Every structure is written in structure tokens, then in C-alpha cells.
Structure 1
Amino acid sequence: MDWQGGAIFRPVRTGNAFEETVERILEAVKLGVFGYGDRLPAERDLAVRLNVSRDTLREAIRSLQAAGCVESRRGRYGGSFVTYRPPVPDLADLRRAVQDMGSELEDALTYRMVLESGASELAARRRLSAEQRAYLTRRHEELEDAGPEEYRRLDSRFHLAIAELTSSPSLAVGIAASRMRLNDLLNAIPILERNIEHASHQHRAMVEAILSGDALAARRATAEHLEATAALLRGFLG
């Protein structure tokens, strides 16, 4: 089993199935669960995961195709493929957005700290299967090997993987929503070599603590990492 997108591709439970289906797929793309050129889950599987009819899913895919976010290909290796590319952030616009957020920014950072440090602690306390351990290791290795153009997307995917390993759908959904709230701002932080070195050390400490079952170390390493990211965000956009 692959948990990819588990925090986002959860059953639709509102009466606005079409709108929510579009929103879920866009979240998965914007949060980096699926990057440019990636194939979305098969229509049959995605409809089951979202608990929507295949007609509703097809309508949502057509709308996203018209918006230039995905394209559908036919044939043996066909399917729906991501064509969305995140816009190049404009720091002036983002600084204005930060000013408009006011105290909401600190609230969002605090909320993220509580949720993600708690998720790391919980993941470390769980008896992870070999498949789950391999999943986390794979996400970490992808991030370690990422170039500057892919780093932010794979960083997001790494953090969401930890959320998914908690086996708490509510917590995973909360973390996905928290990241969406900050996503544009986080993507605007310049890729600094020194910062990447620090983040790499922190990510490694998080993974080692989770896989060794050291819950307090997992919480501590995650909190250290998130506070460093928050400091950069305040510095560049404050």
C-alpha cells in the first residue's frame, strides 16, 4: 500500500461533491503530493478514495484540464497527468499578504508547530510496519536528493508523509490544511545552501527518532526544524 495523498484524498462528505473533488485534487498538486508530469491515481481508485461517482470525478478532471492543471492521455500508459507549475513568487506581493494576515500568521505558525511536532511524536510511538518505515525512508531520500527546483515540493511531501503515518485521519487532514494556509509563503523562502544543510540535518534527526521509536526526540527535532523555518519566513517576509 502507498499512503501518498492519504491526508488529502479522503472521502468527500459534503453535498458539493464536484467542488470538493476539484479542491482535493488541487490541494494535492499545490502541496506537492503530485508534481509536474506525475500521474494521478487511476480513476477507479481515486473515485473510491474520494467516495464520489466516476462521473463526478471525470467532470472535476475535465474542469482542471480546462484550467491547465492536468491533461488526460489515452492508451495503455494513459491517465491524468499534472501540468500545473507553481507561479514564481513575487516577494512584494507576499509581503503585502503577510501584512494583511497580521496576527493570523503567528497563529498559523503556532498551529503548525503544535500539529506537526505532535504528529512526529505520535508516529514515533506507533509500531510502524516494514512498509510504513520504507515509505518514510523513501520520502526522506527523495528530499535529500532534490535539486533547488524540486526542494519545496518534496519537503512538503516529506512532512505530509509523517502525518499519514500517525494513522489519525483528523490529524493528517489538519496538517494538510495547515500547510495549505502557509504554502505560498513557504514556497517564497529563497533556497539557501546553508539553510538546506541545516534542514537536512533536522530532517535526518526526525526520521531517525521516528524509526527508533524515540518520541521525545522526534518531537524535539521537529520543533527545532519548524522554528528555524518560521524564523526564515519572518526574516524574508516580515
Structure 2
Amino acid sequence: MSEPLVQDGRTDWGGGRIFRPVRAGNAFEETVERILQAVKLGVFRYGDRLPAERDLAVRLNISRVTLREAIRSLQQAGYVESRRGRYGGTFVTYRTTAPGPDELRRVAEDMGGELADALTFRLVLETGAAEQSARRSLSAEQRAHLQRRLTELEQAPPGEYRQADSRFHLAIGELTGSDSLAASIADVRMRLNDLLNAIPMLDHNIENSTAQHRAMVQAILSGDPEGARRATEEHLAGTAALLRAFLG
């Protein structure tokens, strides 16, 4: 079950501060986008209950009518379901499915030049986020949260690994203290989400990633900005190379 994290005096529902205020002109569309991000990136997993309606409406700075319309649309699309009663609420019904080789190529072709752009943007964002996180004086709760995300990732079964990986990377964005940076990391992850989900679970790659994730966490928690940047850059370069290989 996804747990809230206290960030700089605020409760954050774990995940790049995805539930940030939406713009008034496209309130419905952006509300759908925010909830889909949280679900597809695994901030809220299959069976999890979304935050209470009143809390979510405040976080998104929208009316409860708009929120209900968005949830109703997502329920019709099969991503969530609403249950009544004492233990009711809105629950995630979406399960991650990796696209097959043909669909993977189609997604990559649809992205075209945006793929290289997204990979470069991700590299700049996440290396900077790791460096900034290592520069900050993190609270005991923030440090424990990052360690929990790492442990969760290392213990995740194959079918849940990619979502756990998303939560780990989003957690580093949260630690920067920058809403804009954390939100941008979530946005670029969504652009690459289908492609990243399609990378086969290769034992050697998982071993490499585990060592790199540990190096990232160790550098951040020990206050080593250069080490955090270097470990993150190595990790993301490996992921990009593997992705290009399977698209080749």
C-alpha cells in the first residue's frame, strides 16, 4: 500500500508530487492526466486506494465535481473503480502490461525524434536531481523513505519491477525540494513508460541496475553530489543503451 511522506512540512503521496495544482482552463483533462501518471508510474498500484476525494481535490486545486467526472471517466476506461461503504473509496484496477516487440517498435516510431530528446532530457533531469538531493540536509524520514524505495525495488517480483523502479527514481526527484523538477521527472518518465516497461528482465542487467541504484543511494545519503551524479549517469546510460539495442 502506498504510504504518504512528509516533505518540507507537507504530506506528499509518494511520487514526484504528481498531484500538483492543475490549470483552470483544462481542469478535467489535466486531472485525468495526473491520476493516470500516478497509476501508470506505480505511485498507486493495483488494489491501492487513491487519497480521499476531499484531499485529492485540494491537492489538485479543483472542485470535487471535476474530480468525480475525471474518476468516472477513468473508471469507464478500466483504470480505477469506486466502492461504497465503510471501507470504500477509489481503487486502482490497472495492471502493468509490457508491449510486445511489434508494439514496441510502433511506439518508438511514433515518438520519432522525441525518443532521443526524452532520453537526453531524462539524463539531465535525473543526474541533476541526484546531485541536488545529495547537497541537501535530508530529514530522517526522507532518508528512510529513499531507503524503503530501494529495498522495495530490490525485492519486487518481475511483474512489479518496472513500477518499483519508477517509484525509486521519482523518490529522488522528491528529495530535491523542487516541485517543478520532481514533476518534470514524472512527465519524462511517462513519455518513456511504455518503452521502459518493454525492456526484457535480463538477470545481468538487473544485477548491474541493483549495484547502480545502491551507489546512487549511498552517494545521496552520504552527501556526495559528484558521486550521486556519476552513479546516476552510469545507470541511465546503461538503460538507454539497452533500450536502443532492443529497438535496433
Using structure 2 for the length normalisation, give the TM-score. Answer: 0.92
Query: Which residue of 182, 187, 203 maps to 1:193?
Result: 203
Structure 2 equivalent of residue 61 of structure 1: 71
Structure 1 equivalent of residue 95 of structure 2: 85
Report 1:84-233 matches (<5 A).
84-233=94-243
SS of equivalent residue, structure 1 residue 127? coil
Aligned equivalents of 1:5, 1:159: Cα separation in 2: 9
Following TM superposition, by how much is the alpha carbon of 1:6 offset from its aligned partner in structure 2, in angstroms?
A: 4.3
Give yes or no for contact 2:16–2:173 (8 Å, CA) kept in 1.
no
Following TM superposition, by how much is the alpha carbon of 1:90 offset from its aligned partner in structure 2, in angstroms?
A: 1.6
Following TM superposition, by how much is the alpha carbon of 1:178 offset from its aligned partner in structure 2, in angstroms?
A: 0.7
Deviations 1:66-105 (A, max 9, x none): 1111011122222111001233412112113323433322
Deviations 1:15-62 (A, max 9, x none): 121111111101111111111111111111111111111121112111
Structure 2 equivalent of residue 39 of structure 1: 49
- 1:210 alignment partner AA: I
Give yes or no for contact 2:98–2:197 (8 Å, CA) kept in 1.
no
Provide structure 2 residue ranges, at least 5 long, that are not aligned to the other structure: 6-11
Structure 1 equivalent of residue 9 of structure 2: none
Farther-moved stretch of structure 1 (147-156 vs 27-36) = 27-36
Structure 2 equivalent of residue 9 of structure 1: 19
| CA distance 1:102–1:58, change in 2 (3 Å) | closer
Farther-moved stretch of structure 1 (56-65 vs 199-208) = 56-65
Give yes or no for contact 2:153–2:164 (8 Å, CA) kept in 1.
yes
Following TM superposition, by how much is the alpha carbon of 1:107 offset from its aligned partner in structure 2, in angstroms?
A: 1.6
- 1:179 alignment partner AA: R
CA-based RMSD: 1.3
Q: Percent identity?
A: 74
- 2:50 alignment partner AA: L
SS of equivalent residue, structure 2 residue 243? helix
The number of equivalent residue pairs is: 238
Following TM superposition, by how much is the alpha carbon of 1:228 offset from its aligned partner in structure 2, in angstroms?
A: 0.5
Farther-moved stretch of structure 1 (63-72 vs 94-103) = 94-103
Aligned equivalents of 1:127, 1:55: Cα separation in 2: 40
